[in-house]
Amino acid sequence: MSGFEGVERRGLMFVLSSPSGAGKTTLTRMLIDEIADLRMSISVTTRPKRPGETEGVDYHFVDQAKFDQMVADGELLEWAKVFDNCYGTPKAPVEHALASGHNVLFDIDWQGAQQLKGQMPTDMVSVFILPPSVQALEQRLHTRAQDSEEVIRGRMKKAGDEMSHFDAYDYIVVNDNIGIAFESVKSILRAEQLKLERQVGMVAFVQKLRQQL
């Protein structure tokens, strides 16, 4: 993406993680809706396509043999096996987007975030979303009315493990108010875009300004 006078911005990988019910999905949707140069990372998966899902929009659907070959060939930035199905992030489209100045948004857990950081540490910015309290988290899970009591108890237990990895992230945002949390996350993205290392050609631009003085 072009800037001005020969300055071009390199994109970044913007990772959002949180316990289930903390608001990550809502924040992800708000970011994609508002920020034009932000693209959602599309994972590859071995699980069957569900009704209403679209190939290349929701996921790239492949069989196990193809997935295993992608892993063997180093084509995935990160991958994991979840409930007998494999999920991963294809490397090529992410690298192309970053080189074109587009930011790529990832909705992944801490393990996926660690894998991404190991592959492309200078291109990644990570944010962990926390609930304001355990009571608020439980209330939000009940309000969604999507899960049984047993499933909710399981999600609450898992939340404790997920929150134990908060210090692996660059930023922490407590989602007590979705509007304020959204502005915080947007501010992080905007500030990270302005880092010198992500503004290709800035050094030459400054030198040119100085020569004109």
> What sign for the dihedral angle of Cα 65, 86, 116, 91?
positive
The pTM (predicted TM-score) of the whole model is 0.86
Asked whether residue 67 is assigned to any structural domain, the reply reads no
Asked whether residue 77 is assigned to any structural domain, the reply reads no
Q: 144 pLDDT band (50/70/90 cuts)?
A: low
Asked whether residue 70 is assigned to any structural domain, the reply reads no
Range(s) of the domain holding residue 19? 8-41+103-211
**C-beta pairs of 59-62 under 8 Å, 24+ apart in sequence:** 60/90
pLDDT of residue 1: 52
Domain holding 200: CATH number?
A: 3.40.50.300
Tokens representing residue 168 in the block? 């692996």
Asked whether residue 116 is assigned to any structural domain, the reply reads yes
Half-sphere exposure of 22 (CA within 13 A, CB side): 28
pLDDT of residue 42: 94
Q: Cα separation of 38 and 164, whole Å?
A: 29
- The predicted-structure confidence for 172-209, as pLDDT tens digits, reads as follows 999 999 999 999 999 999 999 999 999 989 999 999 99
Q: Cα separation of 150 and 206, whole Å?
A: 60
Q: 137 pLDDT band (50/70/90 cuts)?
A: confident
Asked whether residue 185 is assigned to any structural domain, the reply reads yes
